[in-house]
Structure 1
Amino acid sequence: MTDKNKDIEIIDELDTNLMDHEYDGIMELDNSLPPWWLYLFYGTIIFAIFYSIRFFAFGGYNQIDEYTTEVTNADKDVAIFKENFGGSEINENSVVLSTDAQELLNGKEIFKKNCIPCHLENGGGLVGPNLTDEYWIHGNTIKDLFKTITFGVPEKGMIPWESQLKPQQIQNVASYILTEFKNKNVEGGKEPQGDKM
């Protein structure tokens, strides 16, 4: 049998499977779907039934519950952050000069612990500038000082303290500096730096 005859036989076998419509010379066969495809299809139907019962009839875990849980967890994280780091209530725009005795005492302790090596105990300045004269490099308001302490002046050797001190602590030490040292002109202080204010 030639190849041509084989082709004719194959086409004859297909005639029994041929659907009775044709488009642009293209004929469609009515073949059965493969079993794996049918099993997959039936499986999705069964899954859809159980899914509908679980999530719609019995009110199973859904996106609203998931969202509520995530928001609750985020609120807890924010509360922990605020407790540990003072949150963001106090920043360089909202800080105010504190006159509270306890806060100034806390500021004094922070100053003694962290600032004396550069500014001396009397604020007269050593490596850092004199804090007792009328000249200030980065401004002499509470907001200026808060910003300088928070972000530091790395090019002048002052590290940023935002990772080591809470905003409340920075407010306390800045308030202490402004109430204890500003315009006191201690004897033997470092020469003036910056602008007179």
Structure 2
Amino acid sequence: MSPFTNERAAFQALKIAVEQDEALRADIEKALKELLGRFSTAIRENRFVVGGALELILVAALRAAGVDAQHVGVEEERIDIKLEKGGFSVKGHFSRSGGAIRLINTLGESEETKWETATLFVIHGVGFGYADPELIPEEQVERVKDALVLKYKVVRRFLSAHPHYLINLSIPPLLSDVSSSELVSRTLAREILQRTSRLKDYID
């Protein structure tokens, strides 16, 4: 039995639910459209918050599909979503071009660090994808200066060849015009200041 049996089963449950429930599909696409339409990941501080929000959207989608899922991105080092047995790392890729998808930031890690986690990929122009180290050979994982990465084309090719690991969804690209993007810190500060008596009159 594969060590990723539970993660694969959870993904299949999500895939079936999304493909059979148009309201669920619409909700997921609506949530992602708003998230990525408001906060550009081209802005550094937005990346971390968008990543966390993405994980929470996926947790909600999995629960809607009947999967017991918990968000553990703060507590765990390698997984973002915990299942009853096992869990997922979540990786988003919203660039209009190819490039690479970071699996693990290796700064300060051992050179022996390997990709060992089932991963949910959220990819612009593709949808939700699933892969794990048994499905994509280790030699296709590249070690760069401070990360282990998979080339976008490797993931795209794998999902094209294995459509049962792909959920077709409309995933918007990153908001390239940063001037039209909200800044997470500013949005949060405005929300807090609106509840003050005097400072709310001086909100930027």
State the TM bucket, normalised to the shorter chain.
under 0.3
More strand by share: 2
The structure showing larger relative contact order (alpha-carbon pairs under 8 Å, at least 6 residues apart) is: 2
TM-score (norm 2): 0.24
Q: Bigger radius of gyration, 1 or 2?
A: 1
